[in-house]
């Protein structure tokens, strides 16, 4: 299969979305930009098309997908919101949609079981990106996990999608680099005793601090590798082809002779203890000099992919502050390092 690329910019969002819509309406899949990462889209109510998503990604059927809507009015098509949480769901949608917040809610019976991996819940959000929203408006709810092979580094550019899925999918819509750079925050909304309970399944751009005004935020329990409740929550995920090493202190890193190590640095400052710890083969800095978490998040997957190259035996990752957006970055680092520990 030849994989085509269609450029999408502010002057031709409509044309790009139209071409993608034709492919999706025919029952195939398309890689589409969002504000978080590129998604591999299929019409959610077409089980055969959704199956192609799993096939192209080599994704196990037990890992559910996120469904993208055109707006909150479409929520009733895919979810049944209990009376006790209707208010907080509306408040969260008004505050963060369109945007990088995914809500896990009881699913509507019309949603194919393949989309939800047989779970009684469905993960839903409204993307800020014009192309994805146009597709959802024209075709209805769109199922779209990240457009990469399962478990690997999420793509934040069309070229990254091409490196992962060339020859596996017919079309990539190139909308440039993703503006947020990390996958959406995922929250299960549940009835609580006094306030609604927001179970944080995956940290993301919408932070724990952002969510606290809407309900009691609790951390989700440990996920079993054969029954995740939401996408991107397996213990090992977002991983490059080479091992990722994560330490509490720079002094814990003891390089092995003859091995080539790369450094994923937060701000490239020697005072952090890593930069001069070793003669690194390659260094990528997430937020040079500034140490700004928003910039680090945007560059995170790009930098990881830049270090996942021939000649590198392992990537050492500097930790960042585990608060706010830093919690999302640390979540991705821990999962990327899980298979190396």
Q: What is the reported pTM?
A: 0.95
Please tell me the predicted confidence (pLDDT) of residue 12: 84
Please tell me the predicted confidence (pLDDT) of residue 224: 57
What's the CATH number where 306 sits?
A: 3.40.50.11030
Contact of 173 with 33, CB cutoff 8 Å: yes
- For residue 237, being part of any structural domain is answered with no
SS3 call for 39: strand
Residues 270 and 313 in one domain: yes
Question: HEC states along 91-149?
Answer: HHHHHHCCCCEEEEEEECCCCCHHHHCCCCEEEEECCCCHHHHHHHHHHCCEECCECCC
Residues 132 and 12 in one domain: yes
Contact of 215 with 166, CB cutoff 8 Å: no
Residues 266 and 148 in one domain: no
Please tell me the predicted confidence (pLDDT) of residue 226: 66
Domain with 287, as residue range(s), is 244-340
Residues 202 and 280 in one domain: no
- For residue 224, being part of any structural domain is answered with no
Residues 201 and 288 in one domain: no
Residues 114 and 28 in one domain: yes
- For residue 296, being part of any structural domain is answered with yes
As averages over each run of 10 residues, the pLDDT of the chain (341 residues) reads 92 91 98 98 98 97 97 97 96 98 98 97 97 97 97 96 98 97 97 92 97 94 72 85 95 96 96 95 94 96 95 96 95 90 63
Cα–chain center distance at 171: 20
Domain count, the chain: 2
């Amino acid at each position: 299969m030849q994989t085509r690329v269609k450029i999408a910019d502010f002057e031709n969002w409509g044309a790009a979305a139209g071409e993608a819509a034709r492919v999706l309406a025919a029952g195939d899949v398309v890689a589409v930009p969002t504000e978080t990462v590129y998604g591999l889209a299929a019409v959610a109510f077409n089980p055969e098309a959704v199956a192609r998503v799993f096939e192209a990604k080599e994704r196990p059927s037990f890992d559910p997908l996120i469904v993208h809507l055109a707006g909150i009015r479409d929520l009733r098509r895919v979810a049944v919101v209990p009376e006790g949480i209707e208010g907080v769901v509306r408040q969260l949608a008004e505050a963060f949609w369109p945007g990088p917040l995914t809500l896990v809610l009881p699913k509507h019976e019309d949603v194919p079981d393949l989309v939800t991996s047989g779970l009684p819940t469905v993960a839903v959000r409204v993307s800020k990106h014009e192309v994805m929203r146009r597709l959802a408006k024209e075709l209805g709810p769109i199922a779209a996990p990240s457009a990469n092979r399962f478990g690997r580094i999420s793509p934040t550019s069309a070229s990254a999608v091409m490196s992962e899925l060339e020859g596996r999918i017919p079309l990539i819509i190139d909308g440039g680099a993703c503006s947020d750079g990390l996958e959406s925050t995922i929250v299960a909304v549940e009835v609580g005793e006094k306030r609604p309970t927001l179970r944080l399944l995956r940290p993301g751009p919408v932070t724990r601090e952002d969510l606290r005004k809407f309900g009691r935020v609790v951390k989700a329990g440990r996920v079993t590798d054969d029954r995740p409740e939401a996408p991107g929550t397996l213990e090992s995920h977002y991983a490059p082809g080479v091992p990722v090493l994560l330490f509490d202190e720079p002094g814990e890193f003891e390089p092995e002779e003859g091995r080539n190590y790369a450094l994923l640095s937060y701000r490239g400052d020697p005072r952090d203890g890593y930069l001069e710890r070793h003669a690194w083969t390659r260094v990528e800095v997430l937020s040079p000099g500034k140490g700004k978490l928003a910039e680090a998040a945007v560059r995170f997957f790009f930098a990881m992919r830049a270090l996942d190259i021939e000649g590198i035996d392992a990537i050492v990752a500097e930790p960042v502050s585990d608060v706010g957006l830093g919690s999302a970055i640390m979540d991705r680092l821990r999962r990327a390092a899980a298979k190396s520990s």
